[in-house]
Amino acid sequence: MTTQDVFENLQELLEHNEIREFREAFLDHHIYDQTQFYLDFTDDERLELYSILSPQELSEIFENIDFDEVDIKPYLKEISPEYLSAMFDEMSSDNAADILTNLTKRERRAIFSQMTPENVTEIRNLMHYDEETAGSLMTTEFVAVVANQTVSSAMTVIKATAEDAETIYYVYVLDNDKQLLGVISLRSLLISHDDTLISDIVNEHIIKVDVEEPQERVARYFRDYDLLALPVISHDNIMLGIVTVDDIIDVIDDEAQSDYSGLAGVNTDNVNQNPIQSAAKRLPWLVALLFLGMGTASLIDHFDGLVSKASVLAIFISLITGTAGNAGTQSLAVSVRRISLNDEENRSFFGLILAEIATGLVTGAVTGLTIFIVVSLWKGNMILGLAVGVAMFCAITVANLAGSLIPVAMDRLGFDPAVASGPFISTMSDLTSVFIYFSIAGIFIHFF
């Protein structure tokens, strides 16, 4: 049975009001599939669903919706505040906080008023953390024990919290002030003797992050240290929550996705669109860059006198702009990658820029020399070759500089460096390349 058949079968059960059969068939699927079905149901079918599923069952579906791709507001609006309150009471606090940020303050208040006060406090606290920080990713449902417990009493704590905790595979050891002392994996608890003291087996070399640490850095810890969860602490080492690996996979995926989209000047998030939707997504960039490109066109117009004197100049316009654009894109990619790796040691602004200028000088020199030889031989005119070669050299150096400078500057100013996209850099570099080319050609014009 294909997914489509399964879905139609579910719709039929709903239509014929066969509630028991529907529940059985629906809940039998993995929560990911349940979520897809939920999103694919019609409005009427969903309204029916809210009377069939418990708030707890729907809470799991909501935990699985990808907010980057689905606008959650209309779904929330169609559910009664009572049901929503019960649902958010069941949900892990990080996801509840993420979803609730989509509502207005007034709507939130209506929901909070009917929830368990402790849950409300937890969610409210989480909502304060900046987006894309450890705080915004963390959940407060973790397992904690104290150092002078025995292994067997720790196991009792774990069993008691197993239902609610986001992960039970790492157990955190706290002192009486909730300061984080260390961590024990469930694995080492299982292989230790029941009477062993936690303090004897705790791992105190714990990797932890500050609540305000950016999410890329958090992702990097997971990557380097092969973690399943990472504790999040306040400035004074109070344990606040944990980030789990499933959330980090989404972060790594989204980051990669947004860098990639930026480089191409198109949002590739949703690839399944009809041609009109695709075109609508691509046109803003294309038309904006078209007008930027008009700048280059009017610059060439300005140098029209040179072209009519020596039409041979027209031959090399696209070669120089294209090559400089390619160099600028390479430089951009390296620069954005370096920023997203958050490479502390390598983030001296001027060091970065100087290195990129040096790289530009080397690539420009090699490329310029190549084109000098080719043009000199092809056109039998070394002066023309020299003009094209020098222009190429300068254009590549400038493009490299722009390709690295712009994302670094954007990052410093607090913008996403990936927005300085590839097409933007190449269109910008068209402008400077044409200017450089004709300025240099103007000097040598009498020899062509």
Q: Kindly identify the residues of this chain, within the stretch 200-229, that bind its own copies according to CB under 8 A.
A: 205, 207, 222-228
What burial letters (b/e) apply to 156-182, b meaning 16+ CB within 10 Å? ebbeeeeeebbbbebbbbbeeeeebbb
Q: Assess contact for 148 and 135: CB atoms under 8 A.
A: no
266 binds its own copies (CB under 8 A): yes
One of 103, 319, 386, 410 touching its own copies (CB under 8 A): 319
Return the number of the residue (100 or 332) whose C-beta is nearest its own copies: 332
What angle, rounded to 10 degrees, do the helices at 382-412 and 349-379 form?
160
Return the number of the residue (70 or 264) whose C-beta is nearest its own copies: 264
One of 123, 327, 402, 405 touching its own copies (CB under 8 A): 327
Hey, which residues between 415 and 444 contact its own copies (CB under 8 A)? 422-423, 426-427, 430, 434
Cβ at position 137, least distance to its own copies in Å: 14
Distance CA 179, CA 174 (A): 5
Between the two ends of the chain, the Cα-to-Cα distance in Å is 73
373 binds its own copies (CB under 8 A): no
One of 276, 380, 413, 446 touching its own copies (CB under 8 A): 276
348 binds its own copies (CB under 8 A): no
Integer-rounded Cα radius of gyration of the chain = 30
194 binds its own copies (CB under 8 A): no
Q: Assess contact for 147 and 173: CB atoms under 8 A.
A: yes
Cβ at position 443, least distance to its own copies in Å: 19
Q: Could you tell me which residues are beta bridge partners of residue 242?
A: 139, 231
Helix, coil or strand: residue 163 = coil
> Closest Cα partner for 170 from 259, 232, 125, 84?
232
384 binds its own copies (CB under 8 A): no
Distance CA 394, CA 433 (A): 8
> Closest Cα partner for 209 from 255, 178, 240, 167?
240
One of 102, 196, 234, 261 touching its own copies (CB under 8 A): 261
Return the number of the residue (85 or 340) whose C-beta is nearest its own copies: 340
Binding mask 79-108 for its own copies (x = CB under 8 A): ------------------------------
Distance CA 69, CA 435 (A): 43
70 binds its own copies (CB under 8 A): no
Distance CA 336, CA 411 (A): 9
314 binds its own copies (CB under 8 A): yes
Cβ at position 36, least distance to its own copies in Å: 9
Tokens of 274: 């009809």
Distance CA 208, CA 236 (A): 13
Return the number of the residue (112 or 393) whose C-beta is nearest its own copies: 393
Hey, which residues between 131 and 170 contact its own copies (CB under 8 A)? 155, 158-159, 162-163, 168-169
Q: Assess contact for 434 and 317: CB atoms under 8 A.
A: yes
Hey, which residues between 278 and 307 contact its own copies (CB under 8 A)? 278-279, 282-283, 285-287, 289-290, 293-294, 296-298, 300-301, 304, 307
Hey, which residues between 328 and 347 contact its own copies (CB under 8 A)? 329-330, 332-334, 337-338, 341, 343, 346
